[in-house]
Amino acid sequence: MAIFHHSIKLISRGKSKSAVASSAYRSGTKMTNEYDGITHDYTSKGGIYSSAILLPSHAPKEYADRSTLWNAVEKIEKQHNAQLARDIEVAIPKEIPSHLWQRMLIDYCKTNFVSKGMIADLSIHNNDENNPHCHIMLTVRPIKEDGTWGAKSHKEYILDDSGNRIKLPSGNWKSTKVDTMDWNSQDNAEVWRANWSEHCNLYLENLGHTERIDHRSYERQGIDQVPTIHMGVSASQMEQKGIETDRGNINRQINDDNKEVKIIRARITRLMKWQRELEVQPLDFSRGEFKASILEKLNTNKGIIKNQYQTTKDLKNYVNVWNFLQANDIGNLEEFNAKIQAMNDSFYAVKSALKTIENDMGKLDRQLDLWAKYEQLKPMRKKYMKLTGKEQKAFYEQHTNELDRAEILNSKWVKFTNSGGKISTSTWKRERKELEQLSKTCDVKMKAYIEELEKAEKIQKALDELFADIKQIPTKIKDAER
């Protein structure tokens, strides 16, 4: 199944990252960072399908060499916390054959980035056959027409009502920073994501595949189902070997729930459609006769000799439908139709509650999973933070992947902290158990609903037979008159 994944982040010196190191890792090459003198050798990394540098027409040709390019970036950026590059990671639909990967990525990068003046350094990874993906590193500083680096932003003074500059107590003039390019605009993220899904869908269509991807969430697409969680490389590889993982089990349960809900929705939709299309029938029975007629039709043997098991099953159906009619005080067609409408409302109420619960459980599962991984990396990050100078740089070079991952995870906890600024995993676990109990309650309601649905379908079948009998009467009279 084709999946959509398109993440955007910044590579900055403020997070102890290097453009040279990042490019070397993604391309599986060896490069020396002239800014700090550290050599990054990832030639034994493996899993690199292909890589390429794409230049705008006015960029210096020597930047086609990635070491020259990113060392030039490191040199022009003077700030200790400078933003060095933008990193975009996209998942390539596995339905698209590998010989088309580079061409489709080059087309996408040229259209969305290179044409806007950015240099794109792309590396396609296929270390997992079920998760081919591409890393796209983009320059964040514009290049002027003469081939030199331009400014990222300029200062714009804020004026008062009289058009004069405003002086601050510090003695400086009040000003704001204005980007020279719109590359940092949040609107771009939506455009780039949408264009990636359209780009992939075009290839899928041309290849004759019916699969499509969509950059929008299920909610924005109007798809009323719970999304599965991202498996990740490690879990995917374990699942391929037949080893069940927590993430895999969560996705299997979500898929099973979505399938069941889809089936139930189709059944209630058929009942609602039957109700809307039903013409008013001349069933002028008393309430008791209405019930009796339905039960009679339900238990008509029609000359078929049944075994003991089937007879017992018929009797059980008879009792269940009778109890359903009695419990819901259904004595005519209008009351049966009202019950169908009430069942429809009840189904969507339970389904909506279940969807919310499962989404919340998924969020907590992801938080707990990420926290567990962070706990494993925290001692290494703590040791790194205590080091300084060359020792810190050497330690980072040795543990680049782990420290980068720890930094990403550490930045996520800000929005999860409580008022005291601490992570409360015990609270998450308690909330998870409460949601699990609510989910079980919804499951019980859903099972009861399915039982009612089965009874309503049996009544519908009996009514259809009654209507067919009534419609045959005038037909027989007309035939006799002929």
Q: Is residue 473 predicted with pLDDT exceeding 70?
A: no
**Residue 173 DSSP symbol:** B
Q: Is residue 348 predicted with pLDDT exceeding 60?
A: yes
Non-local (6+) Cβ contacts of 17 within 8 A are 11, 84, 404
pLDDT at 206: 85
Contact in structure between 33 and 21 (CB atoms under 8 Å): yes
- What share of the chain has pLDDT > 90, as a percent? 21
User: What does the pLDDT look like over 174-222, one tens digit per residue?
Assistant: 777 777 887 887 778 888 988 888 888 888 888 888 777 764 544 444 4
Q: Which of 155-159, 278-282, 401-405 has the lowest mean pLDDT?
A: 278-282
The residue among 130, 68, 69 whose CA lies nearest residue 98 is 130
Mean pLDDT of 474-479: 39
Mean pLDDT of 412-426: 62
pLDDT at 476: 36
Distance CA 9, CA 89 (A): 9
* pLDDT band, residue 149 (cuts 50/70/90): very high
Mean pLDDT of 229-252: 66
Distance CA 91, CA 207 (A): 18
pLDDT at 61: 95
Mean pLDDT of 96-108: 92
Contact in structure between 62 and 68 (CB atoms under 8 Å): yes
Q: Name the residue with higher pLDDT: 416 or 208.
A: 208
At residue 21's C-alpha, the angle toward residues 20 and 25, to 5°, is 120
pLDDT at 62: 95
pLDDT at 1: 53
- Give Cα 106 distance to the centre of its chain: 25
Q: What is the mean pLDDT of the chain?
A: 77
Entry pTM: 0.50
pLDDT at 479: 43
Helix, strand, coil percent content, the chain, rounded in steps of 5: 60, 10, 30
- Give Cα 412 distance to the centre of its chain: 18
pLDDT at 190: 83
Contact in structure between 212 and 204 (CB atoms under 8 Å): yes
- Residue 442, H or E segment: helix 425-481
Contact in structure between 377 and 405 (CB atoms under 8 Å): yes
* pLDDT band, residue 136 (cuts 50/70/90): very high
Q: What domains, with CATH codes, occur in the chain?
A: 6-213 (3.30.930.30), 233-482 (no CATH)
User: What does the pLDDT look like over 280-313, one tens digit per residue?
Assistant: 555 555 566 676 777 777 666 444 444 554 555 5
* pLDDT band, residue 52 (cuts 50/70/90): very high
Q: Is residue 474 predicted with pLDDT exceeding 50?
A: no
Most confident of 18-27, 156-165, 253-262: 18-27
Contact in structure between 31 and 66 (CB atoms under 8 Å): yes
